[in-house]
Amino acid sequence: MANRWRYPDLGFGIGLRTVHFPHILANHPPVDWFEILSENFMDTGGRPLYVLDQVAERYPVVLHGVSMSVGSTDPINFDFLRKLKLLAQRTKAHWVSDHLCWTGVSGINVHDLLPMPYTDESLQHTIDRVKIISEFLERPLVLENPSTYVEFSASNWTEWDFITTLAEQADCGLLLDVNNIYVSSFNHGFDPHDYIDRIPADRVVQIHLAGHTNKGTHILDTHSDHVIEAVWELYRRVYQTMGGIATLLEWDESIPSFEVVHSEALKARQYRESPGKSNEEAHAA
């Protein structure tokens, strides 16, 4: 099933990371596409931008940011959006994504993907902002579900209902992070299948996969390891219900060689091919 904007299934990509710059420039490895961390390139005119230009010339790229602060009650930062828009034009990015979160208020930046309370008020607030941002960027914003570690007692929506309603009413795209669904389901004790089954397939333009750190009492979304089997199985379910969607592997801590990261991304292929467990078995797992 294609998404409503007919954004392409770019295949299996990886995040562009500084430690891999020399390898990529020297070898032009056969990667389907790269995801660019927007903030790493918005305020530099040096080597990072030079490398990005080389990459964007050869590979399809999408922009992925962490600082848009879509859910914040501070004013929208149009200076940030202007730079982001220019970067998207420069790299011919297929789409631009950020997270369903806030990163700070009162002019301060906490540099974290802070959780939204899932209330009617915050839903309406976020819908209004996403509309303004999409209009400014002249493209539908794509929003990712973050990993979260707290739940607000004020919340009267489930995360999956909240994000679905937000996407429909603000007419935005979704970046479904399958690992984040798993992490949050562990931290808050919900069934990840309920989440996946509720998400409107025609709005999902990208998938994230990543490793995490299980602390026993909770899971941290560290992007520091291989993807665990349970997350791969969730990915299979996403494929079965939504079809082929551009899939990206994130690795941000203890980053191994380019080949290791790339082959981890390519593992996703097998979960698109083999039938795997039935829904009932997957539920029971």
Partner 1 sequence: MRPDSLPRLQRWMQAVILTPGDCEEALASEAATREIGVHDARGVILPSKTLQPNERLDIYRDMYEARLLEALSVDYPGLADLLGEELFAELLRLYIRAHPSRSYTLNDLGDNLPEFLRLVEGLPRAQFAYDLARLELAYSKIFDAAETPPLSHEAITAVPAGAWEKARLVPVAAFQLIAMRYPAQLYLEALREEKLPPPIRRKDTWLAIYRRDYAVMALSLTRPAFDVLSALAAGNSLGDAILAGKMNTPTRHRLLTTMFQSWTSEGLFQAIRTEPRPKEAVGKSATTAGSAAAQWPTE
Write out the residues near partner 1 by the rule CB under 8 A: 39, 42-50, 67, 69, 72-73, 77, 80, 102-112, 114, 117, 119, 121-122, 125, 149-154, 187-189, 216-218, 220
22 vs 263 by CB, closer to partner 1: 22
99 vs 236 by CB, closer to Fe ion: 99
5 vs 186 by CB, closer to partner 1: 186
| Angstrom distance (rounded) from CA 193 to CA 182 | 9
Residue 273: CB atoms within 10 A of its CB come to: 9
69 binds, among partner 1, Fe ion, none (CB under 5 to 8 A by kind): partner 1
Residue 99: CB atoms within 10 A of its CB come to: 25
User: What values do phi and psi take at 244, rounded to 5?
Assistant: -75, 125
51 vs 245 by CB, closer to partner 1: 51
Which residues have a Cβ under 8 Å from the Cβ of 13 and sit 6 or more positions away? 31, 32, 33, 34, 35, 60, 62, 246, 247, 248, 249, 265
CB of 236 to partner 1, least distance (A): 27
CB-based burial label for 244 (10 Å; 0-12, 13-18, 19+)? middle
CB of 123 to partner 1, least distance (A): 10
Q: Is residue 219 within 8 Å of 183, Cβ to Cβ?
A: yes
30 vs 216 by CB, closer to partner 1: 216
CB of 56 to partner 1, least distance (A): 16
76 binds, among Fe ion, partner 1, none (CB under 5 to 8 A by kind): none
| Angstrom distance (rounded) from CA 273 to CA 210 | 20
Residue 188: which of 236, 231, 152, 239 has the closest Cα?
Answer: 152
177 binds, among Fe ion, partner 1, none (CB under 5 to 8 A by kind): Fe ion
Which residues have a Cβ under 8 Å from the Cβ of 50 and sit 6 or more positions away? none
Stretch that binds Fe ion, among 135-143, 149-157, 166-174, 206-214 (CB under 5 A): 206-214
177 binds Fe ion (CB under 5 A): yes
CB of 178 to Fe ion, least distance (A): 9
21 vs 271 by CB, closer to partner 1: 21
Which residues have a Cβ under 8 Å from the Cβ of 239 and sit 6 or more positions away? 245, 271, 272
Which residues in this chain contact Fe ion in the complex, by CB under 5 A?
Answer: 177, 208
